[in-house]
Amino acid sequence: KAGVTQTPRYLIKTRGQQVTLSCSPISGHRSVSWYQQTPGQGLQFLFEYFSETQRNKGNFPGRFSGRQFSNSRSEMNVSTLELGDSALYLCASSLHSGSQYEQFFGPGTRLTVL
């Protein structure tokens, strides 16, 4: 069974631009969660999508948004990029929404904002 895939793996953008990151969950998984990982703040929850609906949202500004498609693939978008948005963005998928379902993480997308 193929694991969680994320594209692209690396991105370089400049301040003010916007970016879209993609996550393909494990086949059959319906829940996708996104996390931001930085040296200073560690791993922080961005949002979770389940059956095309946002299930949970972390404490991030409205510049961070996401969506999920009918095939469970998910995208997250960051508009008006700031230097502080430079981070590793991880997505994780699970069969359903809920802590009883093991989450499987992707390799991450490394975003650098110049």
| List of residues contacting another protein (CB under 8 A) | 3-4, 31, 33, 35, 42-45, 48, 50, 55-56, 58, 90, 92, 94, 97-107
**Partners of 49 in beta bridges:** 32, 54
11 in Cβ contact with 114 (< 8 Å) = no
Q: Report, in Å, the least distance between residue 114 CB and another protein.
A: 26
How many angstroms separate the Cα of 7 from the Cα of each of 20, 42, 75? 9, 21, 10
- CB closer to another protein, 3 vs 8: 3
CB of 109 to another protein, least distance (A): 13
Closer residue to another protein, CB minimum distance, 5 or 17: 5
Nearest residue (CB) to another protein, 59 versus 70: 59
Nearer to another protein, 21 or 92 (CB): 92
Give just the sign of the alpha carbon dihedral 99, 20, 114, 8: positive
Identity at 24, one-letter amino acid code: S
User: What is the nearest approach in angstroms of another protein to the Cβ of residue 55?
Assistant: 5
For residue 43, give both structure tokens.
Answer: 């791993």
